[in-house]
Amino acid sequence: MSKIGFISATRISVIAGHTFTQLVRMKVFYFLVVFAVIVLASQFVDMSTLGAVKAVEQNLRVMKGAGFFAMNMFSVILALSATALLLPKDIEDRTLYTILCKPVPRLDYLIGKLLGVVALVTVGLLVMDGLFCLILNIRVEAMVAEQADLLTRMGRSAEVIESHAAAIREQGVTWSLQAGVIAVLLKAIVVASIALLVSTFSTSTIFTIIITVVVVLIGLIQAEARDYFLQQQSLGMSSPMLEMTRWISLLFPDFKLLGIEDGVINGERVSWSLLGRVSLAGVLYAAIYTVLSWFVFRRKEL
Amino acid sequence: MAGKEVAAVEIVDLVKEYPSSFRRKMYRAVDEVSLRIEQGEVYGLIGPNGSGKSTTMKALLGLVAPTSGLCKVFGCDSMKVDARQHVGFLPENPYFYKHQTAEETLKFYGRLCGMRGKQLAMRIDALIELVSLQDARKRRLGGYSKGMLQRVGLAQAMIQEPQLLVLDEPTAGVDPVGSRQIRNLIFQLKEQGVTVFLCSHLLEQVQEVCDTVGIIFNGKMVQQGSLSELTSVDSHTEILVEDMDEATLAKVREVIEQGGGELLASGAPRRSLENLFIEIANQCGEEAR
Ligand SMILES: Nc1ncnc2c1ncn2[C@@H]1O[C@H](COP(=O)(O)OP(=O)(O)O)[C@@H](O)[C@H]1O
Ligand SMILES: [Mg+2]
């Protein structure tokens, strides 16, 4: 008898591909229409550019902020609900029996499910990103033209006009913006892996969603909380809460580590090394939660 | 598999306890069951609902971990993934992904077993024909009837040509014609040397196909043995005759009594309702053609 490998790329891709089609056929992509409406609506927020470059930048910031907010929300909701639905459904429908009684290690199954959700979120995010960049670019070019027109009438030199245009474009579609989108994807992946972990021991989809949301919220505020208690301590007020935040940081993800959109929205450049670090942190978190899921799932009675 | 023949299935003192809501006591679903199935044998496990048949099978497939005891498939511990290479399993009331067609479902399971390409495509064609789903192969399973799902389940279990088939209530919810087909299929598999382990609470069907039978009650194996051993009544002999008149019957009775025996019963043998139904169904089928 030949040995079955522990992790097989083919098997994982079969399960991932299957999960992806399953989700697509559940028609989850309809939500993209809602996204399109939000991005289009953000276009019409305060169109008065009134000359000043600062106001132009402010406008673009609002638009980018809305775009990233929508992308964040949608990718997280998609990752969370898809993952929270899949595993309980497989157990309830007993489709899991027919999969696990084939020579499929349980770890392969979990990784396959997770990657299927990740593929889905990636495709959704690519579409959203494309749409967002397209509209943002149209807006930026319109502003550049408007400014150029204005400055020419004011009799400014070509160099001044050019530098203004560059300043505006800096706030538009850039590589740093794409790095921000990658960070959004990473967050969604971490959320999906948390939902996967919770769903290995939870008994219902709704429980999985609630617990995951709580974990994500703790992950979002834990950095602030730690900073706050550290500050308190430096003021001479030691509190047991500081110790607790240390423990929390061991168990819960620190989403602040993955947040680079704030800078991106302000038009800051994202360096390769920062993007690398953020990606590493995201993948590491997802890997840790997947291994933990496997620990629970390995011995689970079906 | 070199060396001496290992048993296809070997279960030794299997105990499976489930936590019960009743205080802290554990509920024993399977209580020290032992059984051995040689290669090529058809083994039937019978018992009422809730007697632990499915649990025994799940333990054999590593879906649940035994509380104590041991399950082996071709000599390999069930809890290891390797044990599942040569096993096909049809769960009780199988349920598949509704969004897939029969063809896609089989492809999915085949690829999980490491099959692909032309070999897989040919295997799928053969299986779909075997379970007669040709007309429905491109339809999504969401619209399948219970019996059709059961057949998809069978095809899925056989996808990698396993040496052992584990069938949990293979004929539950299937009409008599369908269950006759499944029975014939089991005969066919047996000829090919495949070991079959099935369970059912329908005694007739088990009687028809199985070499060996185990009777399980409340998680305990009550009796086990070859079918002929278990069902023959040693002191009785059956004679079946065609076209006999009363006079001959009287003579036969005389002969028997001379030999010191006693004629207990005579009359037309009853055909089972199942047989009658199948005969009619077959007739109607031929007329329709
Ligand atoms: N996951 C489970 N948790 C608790 N009890 C279970 C579980 N699965 C089965 N049982 C109990 O174990 C007993 C045997 O079940 P089962 O093996 O399905 O019986 P059968 O297949 O013979 O009808 C039943 O009384 C059932 O209630
Ligand atoms: Mg059962």
Sequence-distant (6+) residues with CB within 8 A of B157 are B88, B89, B90, B165, B166, B167
Confidence (pLDDT) at A45: 62
The dihedral formed by the CA atoms of B121, B127, B131 and B133, expressed in degrees to the nearest 10: 0
Closest residue to B95, CB basis, from A1, A94, A299: A94
What one-character DSSP code corresponds to residue B36? E
Secondary structure (DSSP) of B197-249: EEEES-HHHHHHH-SEEEEEETTEEEEEEEHHHHH--TT------SS--HHHH
Q: What separation, in Å, do the N-terminal and C-terminal C-alpha atoms of chain A show?
A: 26
Asked whether B219 and B53 are in contact (CB, 8 A), the reply is no
- B235 in any annotated domain: no
Two tokens at B187?
Answer: 């005969």
Tokens 């009785």 belong to residue: B236
| Chain A, nearest residue to B74 by Cα | A1
Domain hosting residue A230, numbered range: 9-297
Q: Contact B93/A94, CB-based, under 8 Å?
A: yes
Q: State residue B208's pLDDT score.
A: 80
CATH number for the domain including B168? 3.40.50.300
Tell me what the mean pLDDT of segment A156-170 comes to.
Answer: 84
How far A209 CA sits from the closest chain B CA (Å)?
23
Q: Which residues of B touch A301 (CB under 8 A)?
A: 18, 63-65
The answer to whether B94 contacts A102, with C-beta atoms less than 8 Å apart, is: no
Domain total for chain A? Answer: 1
Q: How far is CA B110 from the centre of its chain?
A: 22
| Chain centre to alpha carbon of residue A140 | 25
Could you please report the per-residue DSSP string of B163-201? SEEEEESTTTT--HHHHHHHHHHHHHHHHTT-EEEEEES
| Residue among A21, A26, A98 minimizing CB distance to B109 | A98
Q: Average the pLDDT over each of A154-158, B97-101, B250-254, B281-285 and give the range with the smallest value.
A: B281-285
Q: Which of A30-39, B83-92, B158-167, B209-218 has the lowest mean pLDDT?
A: A30-39
Domain residues for the domain of B193 are: 39-65+79-230
Pocket test for ligand 1, best of A92, A299, A301 (most atoms within 8 A of CB): A301
User: Region A203-212: what's the mean pLDDT?
Assistant: 87
Tell me how far CA of residue A256 lies from CA of A193, A216, B20, in angstroms.
17, 11, 44
B84, B97, B100: residue with CB nearest A101:
B84
Q: How far apart are CA B214 and CA B10, in angstroms?
A: 14
Give the distance from residue B120's alpha carbon to the nearest chain A alpha carbon, in angstroms.
Answer: 14
Q: Decide if A2 is inside a domain.
A: no
Residue of A239 and A272 predicted with greater confidence: A272
Q: CB distance from A97 to chain B under 8 Å?
A: yes
pLDDT of residue A20 exceeding 50: yes
Residue B253: inside a domain? no
E strand or H helix at A39: helix A31-43
Q: Which residue is listed with tokens 């030199």?
A: A157
Residues lining ion ligand 2 (Cβ < 5 A) are B 54, 92
Q: Which residue has the tokens 């939870």?
A: A202
d(CA B38, CA A8): 32
What is d(CA B14, CA B119) in angstroms, rounded to the nearest whole number?
38
pLDDT at B96 over 90: no
**Number of separate domains in chain B:** 1
Question: For position B107, what pLDDT does the model report?
Answer: 93
- Please indicate, yes or no, if residue A1 is contained in any of the structural domains: no
Question: Tell me, what's the pLDDT at A48?
Answer: 54
Choose, out of B26, B55, B76, B97, the residue to mutate when testing the contact with A (most A CBs < 10 Å).
B97
Contact B156, B109 (CB under 8 A): yes
**Scanning the structure block, which residue is given the tokens 């299927």?**
A116
Query: Residues B18, B27: contact at Cβ < 8 Å?
Result: yes
As a whole number, the mean pLDDT across chain A is 84
Q: Of the bound ligands, which one is closest to the alpha carbon of residue B93?
A: 2
> Locate tokens 């028997």: which residue?
B256
Report the range of poorest mean pLDDT among A8-17, A52-61, A108-117, B150-159. Answer: A52-61
Dist CA B27 CA B18 (whole Å): 5
Amino acid, single-letter form, for residue A120: L
Look at residue B260 and tell me if it is in a domain. Answer: no
Q: What is the ipTM of this complex?
A: 0.82
Q: What would the mean pLDDT of A267-273 be, rounded to a whole number?
A: 82
| Cross-strand partners of B220 | B217
Burial A229-262 (b: 16+ CB within 10 A, else e): beeeeeeeeeeeebeebeebbeebbbbebbbbbe
The tokens of B137 are what?
């192969």
Tally A–B CB contacts below 8 A.
Answer: 85
Any domain includes B15: no
Q: Is residue B257 part of a domain?
A: no
Mean pLDDT of chain B: 84
The pLDDT tens digits for A248-268 are: 777 788 887 777 877 888 777
A132/A75 Cα distance (integer angstroms): 14
* Closest ligand 1 atom to B52 CA: 17
Contact flag A26-B99 (C-beta cutoff 8 Å)? yes
Q: Among the atoms of ligand 1, which is closest to the Cα of residue B216?
A: 22
